Structure 1
Amino acid sequence: MSSLHPEVDTISAGKKELAIRYPGLRQFCISVNHFGYSDFDAKSGDVDFASGKIRTGRISTFFNTPAVKWKGNSLSASIYYTYTSTELKDITNKLPAQELTPLTTDKSTFDLALNYSRSAAIFNHPIIYSLVARGITDGVNSFRRFNLNGSFNLPLKKTENTTFSVGLLVLVDPSAPIPVEPIVNYYHKFNSSGLELIVDLPTGVNLKKQVAKHAWVLVGSNQRSYTTFYDQKNAFLDGKVSYNTIELKNGAAFEYLFAKNIMLTVDGGFNSYLSAKLFKDGENYNNASFISSNKGTLYVNAGLSLLTF
């Protein structure tokens, strides 16, 4: 989110309005996610490994520090924490010599991101550069992974009801499926209906409507990725590994603003798994040791967030 919406963004909207529009820009958030059981089929290379059911629960928090600004530059930090509870059951092993057993694990992941952005001009047209450096750890070992992403964003249209910008996002991240992704940010408010169309690729597309002075409903699809680290000592995994998922939430949400800057969010729908892979140290998205086909499942979520200081 720091690359898609850098602090020096030229969109003509106040910080509070942007935080209402884009939840990832809020100062602080804590949310609780609960998922139903999902069927999975795992492979080791091209060989069937195991199948069964998996259920995940998450408690996620993030804190975005206020930005330090000078001469078109901006520097800030983001701190993320995710507690993940994973349950495996009804396991059917395909390789007798390598058995996966029913289990329940509870893991924590900490993520620190430093965000730098700069506003400049090229051929008399504004352009925004952003660089984000991230370190991820499980809180027990040292940093388990370092990621880097950079982007540029070209604002193309800016009116009272419409903003439009495009750009490119470059990912230096072993868990990323592709190294470069297009950025498309389009916002339009339809005066006749009050509907807001929010296209925020590569993260999501949403339709939003204010239904009361401090209340909104929205429907849409939003993509997120998650990492959980493990230290395994068994016949098929020996050492540090990470389980990475890319998930797409399709559903509806209700948000209510109270106490001036505190937002309550309740949402639910269907969660699809675009990717689920287990990496050993040194492996990347294309050569992961284990690939799992996880079927989608229902989810519910509740959260509290602070818009701005």
Structure 2
Amino acid sequence: MNKKTLFSTLLLVTIYGTALSQVNEEDQQKSDSLQQKATLGIKEKFPRARVLNFEYGQTLSRDFDSELFDQEFQDGEIKAQRTFTASANVPIFKTRQWGLTGSLNYQFNEFEFDDIESTDVSVFEQNGIVNFHNFSAAISSTYFSSLFKKPVIYNASLIVDGNDEGVERLKGLVGLSFILKRTERTTLTLGAIVFIDPTSQLPFFPTFSYNHRFKNSKWELDFILPQRLLFRRPVGKNGRFSIGSSFGSTGFYVNVDNPNFAETFEYSQLEIKSGVIYEHRFSNYLIGTFQGGLQNFISNRLTEKGEPTQDFIYENNQDPTGYFQVGFSIDPFAGKKK
């Protein structure tokens, strides 16, 4: 699973805890109702958790410079970066306290480079268009229980990923999330994630969420550490407007045809997107999303497959640029749940 999808999977544990806080005391006595409401809460916040989700995004032109083995390497222009993602999440088995879900994900990345001076060594940057195809599959198990008399959810995921050259790696994670505080307008949750992945820079990762609906206002604050900080409000009967920032990543495998290098590398791009988001529910089954604004690149590194990210051989620096993204989510079971 590429790092962006793995990061989204990690956050599901935190979101489950947030969704639990929106269930009243009577519902908490019914595990089946608790599980259903928690699942709906996740889908409301994260399109990639819905049954089917499709996204297309594009960044605008920006300059970059790079280093290879801590030495100055190439520089030039990234005229555009285009990404298409398709994901599916299918319930496999469910009881009142336990659920098993299967997930599939496909991600296409396309870079368009220009003004790059040719060298004897080539990583993946070259004048023209370069494409990358990545696939992943995951099995996630979720268990609903209580801890310190508070609702708590345990999650474990097993992930296998690869690209059009074949299967590459097997990864996993385990985590939990529970509620620290719940009032009529404020929710506070705390959780933790443990990565089963030798390449992870942080084997243990705390999660935290804070949601607050302002008094006598349509606005609410939605903060999830470290994924996003948004101010949101409904627009009409079927729309929702958000403004703020979100942290994410783009990752894919790079096959290098050079006897002096390993055969397969992993490219990791960490980014912060700031701007606006508009979501519109066309029906019970179909939701559309548009977002756009400014994208800042924090870290862009190339690491040999299976090695820790801090042992990268290549990195580049990219100027901030504009971006936009459109998406559609389909949930064939939404009508039944309603």
TM-score, scaled relative to structure 2: 0.82
Q: Which residue of 1 aligns with 2:5?
A: none
Partner of 2:172: 148
RMSD: 2.3
1:106 to 2:131 alignment: yes
Q: Are 1:61 and 2:86 an aligned pair?
A: yes
Provide the secondary structure at the position in 2 that maps to 1:233. coil
Residues paired across the two proteins, number: 306
Alignment of 1:1-309 (within 5 A): 1-6=8-13, 9=17, 10-13=20-23, 14=37, 15-54=39-78, 55-66=80-91, 68-92=93-117, 97-98=120-121, 101-141=126-166, 143-173=167-197, 176-234=200-258, 237-307=261-331, 309=333
Higher mean C-alpha deviation, range 263-272 or range 116-125 = 116-125
Whether the 8 Å contact between 1:162 and 1:189 is mirrored in structure 2 is: yes
Q: Give the 3-state SS of the residue equivalent to 2:43 in structure 1.
A: helix
Using the TM superposition, give the Cα deviation of residue 121 of structure 1 relative to its aligned residue in structure 2, in angstroms.
3.1
User: How far apart are 1:8 and its partner, in Å?
Assistant: 6.5
Q: TM-score, normalised by structure 1?
A: 0.89
- Contact 2:227–2:247 (CA<8 Å) still a contact in 1? yes
Identity %: 23
Q: Which amino acid aligns with 1:286?
A: Q
Distance 1:170 1:295 in 2: 33
Structure-1 separation of matches of 2:60 and 2:148: 52
1:16–1:59 distance in 2 versus 1, CA, 3 Å: same
Q: How big is the shift at 1:102?
A: 1.6
Deviates more, 1:174-183 or 1:151-160: 174-183
Gaps of 5+ in 2: 1-7, 24-36, 334-338
CA distance in 2, matches of 1:174, 1:50: 30
More displaced, 52-61 or 2-11?
2-11
For 2:324 and 2:16, locate their aligned partners in 1 and report how far apart those are by CA, in whole Å.
34
Determine the C-alpha separation between the residues in 2 that align with 1:129 and 1:80: 23
Q: Which ranges in structure 1 are unaligned for 5 or more consecutive residues?
A: none
Does structure 1 conserve the Cα–Cα contact (< 8 Å) formed by 2:199 and 2:306? no
Q: Deviation of residue 16 (structure 1)? A: 4.0
Query: C-alpha deviations, 1:169-226, integer Å up to 9, x for none?
Result: 2223455442222201222222411112111222211111102000111012112222
Query: What is the letter of the counterpart of residue 269 of structure 1?
Result: G
Letter in 1 for 2:182: K
Q: Are 1:86 and 1:106, in contact at CA under 8 Å, matched by a contact in 2?
A: yes
One-letter amino acid of the counterpart of residue 21, structure 2: I
Separation in 2, partners of 1:174, 1:71: 34
Cα 1:227–1:267 change in 2 (3 A) is same
TM-superposed CA distance for 1:71, in Å, is: 4.9
